[in-house]
């Protein structure tokens, strides 16, 4: 794991009251608090007045919690070290807040929201960053609740309440006239599974994944299978904040530039980001031959190196060419790196030095042959 991503741990953007991520979190909390005491939203028989809220659970979790306990199959791509940051064989930086579903249920929680930073190896562009924030929601029903609702089983009640609640959440965040639609989805931990999309600036945008929890997860957490059912959802806070506050680049959430930070205040859901002048970008290409007799260097590997060296100066990494040499059979790859600071103007000399270090790290760390 590179130090670059380690350095982000503990930043806790979602608990800084004036930070856009925390503002969205609080708006969602307020919605669920109101819903919990509204019998029209939460099924009759719900004996609890509020969702428990957790936003300080540590992001380093056992791989079993991140994957096995939520039934992620052994061969699922998300388990690959190309996608998930492993601390060691048995420990990861959580790649989703679903990593806390089982332990929270085991601790006796029956209706809860978990917010936290999650980590994924990924590409570099204006909407991807190796750390972002998710909120997980879970709520368990007992048999008496679906019987009281006159429904044949717990799945029917969970699905009905879940969809109603999340449509209400979309209206709460995007306004009462927001258009939404449900799309069938697949997640290992829920069945049936859905994604909620919101029509935003003329385009359908996915805002969350959700579904009825797999009974086996409830059973393994000590609940009596068949006597309970539950729903779960997970949503990404950056995506919501970027839309609602019109924030154009995900790196801005990490900026300490007062021109950014001073634009937001606790409770200020109506703020719109006012862009300040951008400094010019600087583009650099790097071409290399893939290592022979070793797995190819992936785009995520490439981005990891660039992030490790350039940090937040890297704005985008784009694959611009890939070919296989017809005679030697060697594979060549070329990426274009866009460098841009959000705080200052970059000098040629500085970027040339950064680019040299990126090249060095590719050659020494990943074993490619630079061209």
CB of 179 to ligand PHE, least distance (A): 22
113-142 footprint of ligand PHE as x/- string (CB under 6 A): -----------------------x------
CB of 234 to ligand PHE, least distance (A): 3
**With respect to ligand PHE, which residue has the nearer C-beta, 42 or 237?**
237
**With respect to ligand PHE, which residue has the nearer C-beta, 233 or 245?**
233
- C-alpha angle 133/169/208, rounded to 5°? 45
User: Considering the rule CB under 6 A, would residue 211 count as an interface residue with ligand PHE?
Assistant: yes
User: Considering the rule CB under 6 A, would residue 98 count as an interface residue with ligand PHE?
Assistant: yes
Asked if 78 and 72 touch (Cβ cutoff 8 Å), the reply is yes
Nearest residue relative to ligand PHE (C-beta):
234
Asked if 211 and 185 touch (Cβ cutoff 8 Å), the reply is yes
Q: Which two tokens stand for residue 146?
A: 């679906």
What residues contact 235, with CB distance under 8 A and at least 6 apart?
A: 28, 134, 135, 207, 208, 209
How many residues touch ligand PHE under the rule CB under 6 A: the total is 12
Secondary structure element (H or E) that encloses residue 31, with its range: helix 20-36
Asked if 169 and 135 touch (Cβ cutoff 8 Å), the reply is no
CB of 189 to ligand PHE, least distance (A): 6
Considering only the stretches 108-116, 227-235, 292-300, 357-365, report the one whose residues sit in contact with ligand PHE under the rule CB under 6 A. Answer: 227-235
Secondary structure element (H or E) that encloses residue 366, with its range: helix 348-366
Among the listed residues 59, 209, 215, 308, the single contact to ligand PHE using CB under 6 A: 209
Q: Which two tokens stand for residue 7?
A: 């350095």
Q: Which two tokens stand for residue 333?
A: 């790859």
**With respect to ligand PHE, which residue has the nearer C-beta, 20 or 116?**
116
* Secondary structure (DSSP) of 97-151: GGGGHHHHHHTT-SEEEEEEEEE-----BTTB-SEEEEEEEEEEEEHHHHHHTT-
User: Considering the rule CB under 6 A, would residue 210 count as an interface residue with ligand PHE?
Assistant: yes
Q: State whether the Cα torsion 291-295-296-298 is positive or negative.
A: negative
**With respect to ligand PHE, which residue has the nearer C-beta, 59 or 234?**
234
Residue (of 131, 79, 98, 57) closest to 233 by Cα position: 98
230-249 footprint of ligand PHE as x/- string (CB under 6 A): --xxx---------------
**With respect to ligand PHE, which residue has the nearer C-beta, 66 or 355?**
66
User: Considering the rule CB under 6 A, would residue 96 count as an interface residue with ligand PHE?
Assistant: yes
Among the listed residues 32, 129, 132, 187, the single contact to ligand PHE using CB under 6 A: 187
User: Considering the rule CB under 6 A, would residue 190 count as an interface residue with ligand PHE?
Assistant: yes
By the criterion CB under 6 A, which residues form the site for ligand PHE?
96, 98, 136, 187, 189-190, 209-211, 232-234
């Amino acid at each position: 794991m590179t130090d670059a991503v380690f350095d982000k741990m503990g930043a806790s953007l979602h608990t800084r009251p004036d930070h856009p991520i925390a503002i969205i979190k609080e708006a969602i909390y307020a919605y669920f608090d109101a819903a919990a005491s509204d019998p029209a939203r939460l099924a009759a028989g719900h004996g609890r007045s509020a969702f428990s809220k957790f936003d300080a659970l540590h992001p380093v979790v056992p791989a079993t919690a991140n994957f096995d306990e939520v039934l992620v199959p052994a061969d699922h791509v998300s388990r690959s070290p190309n996608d998930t940051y492993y601390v060691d064989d048995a420990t990861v930086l959580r790649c989703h807040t679903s990593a806390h579903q089982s332990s929270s249920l085991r601790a006796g929680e029956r209706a809860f929201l978990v917010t936290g930073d999650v980590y994924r190896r990924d590409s570099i562009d204006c909407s991807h960053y190796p750390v972002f924030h998710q909120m997980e929601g879970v709520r368990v029903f007992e048999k008496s609740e679906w019987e009281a609702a006159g429904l044949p089983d717990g799945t029917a009640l969970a699905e009905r309440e879940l969809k109603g609640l999340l449509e209400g959440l979309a209206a709460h965040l995007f306004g009462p006239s927001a258009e939404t639609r449900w799309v069938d989805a697949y997640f290992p931990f829920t069945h049936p599974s859905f994604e909620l999309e919101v029509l935003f600036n003329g385009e359908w945008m996915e805002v969350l994944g959700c579904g009825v929890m797999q009974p086996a997860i409830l059973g393994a957490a000590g609940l009596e299978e068949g006597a309970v059912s539950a729903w779960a959802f997970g949503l990404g806070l950056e995506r919501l904040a970027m839309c609602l506050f019109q924030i154009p680049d995900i790196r801005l959430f990490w900026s300490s530039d007062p021109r950014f930070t001073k634009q937001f205040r606790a409770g200020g859901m109506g703020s719109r980001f006012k862009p300040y002048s951008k400094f010019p970008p600087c583009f650099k290409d790097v071409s290399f031959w893939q290592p022979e007799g070793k797995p190819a260097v992936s785009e995520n590997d490439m981005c990891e190196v660039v992030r490790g060296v350039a940090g937040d100066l890297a704005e985008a990494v784009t694959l611009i060419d890939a070919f296989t040499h017809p005679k030697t059979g060697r594979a060549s790859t070329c990426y274009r790196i866009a460098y841009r600071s959000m705080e200052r103007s970059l000098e040629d000399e500085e970027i040339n030095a950064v680019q040299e270090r990126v090249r060095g790290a590719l050659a020494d760390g990943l074993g490619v042959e630079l061209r």
